[in-house]
Amino acid sequence: MPPRTRSTGPPDPEAPVNTSPSSTVQDARAAFGKRLREIRRLTGMTARALAIRAGWSESKASRIETGRTPPSDADLLTYVTICGVPDQYEDLRAAAHGIDEMYVEWKRLQRNGRKRAQEAHVSLNARTRRFRIYEPGVVPGLLQTSAYATALMKRIVAFRRIPDDVDAAVAVRMQRQRYLRDTHRQFAVVLEETALRSRFGGPEVMAAQLGHLLTVAAFPHVSLGVIPMAAERVMWPVEGFWIYDDAQVSVELATAEITIKQPSEIATYARMFSELAKLACYGKQARALVADAIAALE
């Protein structure tokens, strides 16, 4: 995936002028163009030679390679075919399609409150059959009680200074939980023990939330793993992420939500989830960790 932060090195003389409202998206376009240039340079061809073979103007080739002009699917197929790497087409196509939607700033998504952010995932949840969810510090939304979700969202609203539509947002989140009861779907959830111990809404709210977690963990199509705080780490804690089938990954950062659709990156997150899942306790051991967290509330 293209870098998500601006480079601190010397400027690339071929880098495009930043005309996008989101510098991160523009950086991604520039990085994608640089990736294409590197593919072409490995063949020894000049941009002019590639343009001639493709039937393009040299300026078109330059605009594609500097990120000024997003390539069409046909352009990409032509490019990789001429460069002798047609096997990279699908990965590049997914990367190109994902650039504009990969980085959604919270201040833009939530300018009118939290409800819109919740609604944005309804259709994605509806078409997903296999969920893989990792959360380091909170219980994930599909497993939250209404009171826990309300306490968490109220804190988010206050911190981000956005309109307070928590009741409406929580209602949408609760509606999304109907998919959790669909036995034709699979849910693999891995939590850090910290997520059980981080308190939102006070002892009663947390006790009810942890009790609900035990109830959900008993569903035959739900796998709940908890990574103990004392676990010997072979995989470090990372930001929370959700893998939807093998089609998309969503990662929540402090300032934005990242959407990943590039197959090679989805595969990396799947491998990361697998490594984290190996650290987790399941069944009786996981339930004991949840019970310990409930007992600690007293």
Query: Among 82-96, 114-128, 184-198, whose mean pLDDT is lowest?
Result: 114-128
Confidence of residue 8 (pLDDT cuts 50, 70, 90): very low
- Give the span between the Cα atoms of 291 and 115, in whole angstroms: 32
188, 131 Cβ separation under 8 angstroms: yes
Alpha-helical runs (H) found in 56-192: 58-66, 73-82, 89-102, 106-109, 115-119, 122-127, 146-160, 166-176
Q: How do beta strands 186-192 and 130-135 pair? A: parallel
Residue bearing the bigger pLDDT, 91 or 257 = 91
106, 24 Cβ separation under 8 angstroms: no
User: Above 60 in pLDDT, residue 110?
Assistant: no
Nearest to 281 by CA among 185, 187, 180, 192: 192
- Residue 15 is given by DSSP the state P
User: Above 90 in pLDDT, residue 217?
Assistant: yes
pLDDT of 20 reads 30
Encode burial over 180-200: b for 16+ CB neighbours within 10 A, e otherwise.
beeeeebbbbbbbbbbbbeeb
pLDDT of 122 reads 84
50, 83 Cβ separation under 8 angstroms: yes
How far apart, in Å, do the first and last CA atoms of the chain sit? 46
266, 260 Cβ separation under 8 angstroms: yes
For the stretch 172-189, pLDDT in tens is 999 999 999 999 999 999
pLDDT of 225 reads 98
242, 131 Cβ separation under 8 angstroms: yes
User: Above 50 in pLDDT, residue 19?
Assistant: no
Confidence of residue 256 (pLDDT cuts 50, 70, 90): confident
Encode burial over 27-37: b for 16+ CB neighbours within 10 A, e otherwise.
bbbbbbbbebb
User: 3-class DSSP state for residue 83?
Assistant: coil
Question: Residue 134: what residue type?
Answer: Y
Confidence of residue 21 (pLDDT cuts 50, 70, 90): very low
Q: What is the mean pLDDT of residues 69-79?
A: 94
Residues linked to residue 189 through DSSP beta bridges, in sequence order: 133, 224
CATH class for the region spanning 23-101: mainly alpha
Q: What is the mean pLDDT of residues 163-178?
A: 92
pLDDT of 48 reads 95
User: Above 70 in pLDDT, residue 103?
Assistant: no
Query: Among 4-13, 64-73, 177-186, 199-208, whose mean pLDDT is lowest?
Result: 4-13
225, 125 Cβ separation under 8 angstroms: no
Confidence of residue 97 (pLDDT cuts 50, 70, 90): confident
pLDDT of 260 reads 86
- Give the span between the Cα atoms of 139 and 191, in whole angstroms: 8
Confidence of residue 37 (pLDDT cuts 50, 70, 90): very high
Domain ranges of the chain: 23-101, 110-296
For the stretch 43-61, pLDDT in tens is 999 999 999 999 999 999 9
Residues linked to residue 252 through DSSP beta bridges, in sequence order: 257
pLDDT of 2 reads 39
CATH class for the region spanning 110-296: alpha beta
- pTM reported for the whole predicted model: 0.71
Confidence of residue 10 (pLDDT cuts 50, 70, 90): very low
User: Above 50 in pLDDT, residue 22?
Assistant: no
Confidence of residue 9 (pLDDT cuts 50, 70, 90): very low
Q: Which pair of tokens denotes residue 209?
A: 């939330």
